[in-house]
Amino acid sequence: MNGPLAGALLLAAALVVVRPSPRRRLSALRRRRLPTVGLRGAGCVAAGVGCFAVLVLPLTTVLCLAVVGTTAGLRYRRRRSIRRATAEGDALQSALEVLVGELRAGSHPVRAFGVAADDTAGAVAASLRSVAARSRLGADVAAGLAAAARGSALPGHWERLALCWRLASDNGLGIATLMRAAQRDIAERQRFSARVSSSMAGARATATILAALPVLGVLLGQLIGARPLGFLLGGHAGGWLLLVGSTLACAGLLWADRIADGVAS
């Protein structure tokens, strides 16, 4: 495949990806406009850069950039998911504190969930309001808590809450007591995750440094006049060596992240 044809195909694919579907256009009314426009603009810029790279760079260099870009995107999504899970866990812990207080004071579950939702924000507040609405209509609260797990970054927490509520309803146990136990369990899990994340910071930094060492070696070789960049970026054998090395380095980073996530879980 020649350069112009590949560039045209890549541009066409980018236009298909960037163009929102009717469902996305309808759901966009519920979102803030600025982030959506920013993401769409970033997608257009990335598509343009990709077309330019296909036209002027060797195939091996383009593939190497694709591997590095994909790895960077996956690691960014992982960090964003971790931050979201941490924030949601803290918010859920605070909301359960309010919920338990309301239940112990004799409030109806509908009011208790409503007060807890008003006291927090974000996805946790929306989930609690949904549970309160289901309870107001006479639906099963445990089913509402289980439904909240499907769109949560911490589905296990919501599933445990649903189990506790179901146990209390089926066996006549104190709901406030079981919710307090669930709140303490979530707090302990949050503290454990924070400790593990702190202890794994050194290992993650070591993996990043090891992955970056070949880049440092190439730069040093370029400074002393060996011209490794011309060999690696010129295609042919050097380009394939660059692609293989970049793929192995990126695979090492992703594998290190997977090991760290396995320890944290």
pLDDT, tens digit (0-9, with 9 covering 90-100), for 223-250:
998 888 888 888 788 889 999 999 999 9
What is the model's pLDDT at position 190?
87
Distance of CA 26 to the CA centre of its chain: 24
Phi-psi region for residue 121, left (φ > 0), alpha (ψ -120 to 50) or beta? Answer: beta
The full 3-state SS of 101-164, as one line of letters, equals: HHHHCCCCHHHHHHHHHHHCCHHHHHHHHHHHHHHHCCCCHHHHHHHHHHHCCCHHHHHHHHHH
pLDDT in tens, 54-112: 667 788 888 999 999 999 999 999 999 989 988 998 899 889 999 999 988 888 888 88
As given in the structure block, the two tokens for residue 12 are 């066409």
Confidence label for 42 from pLDDT (cuts 50, 70 and 90): low
pTM assigned to the model = 0.69
Q: What is the mean pLDDT of the chain?
A: 80
Place of tokens 């946790």: 124
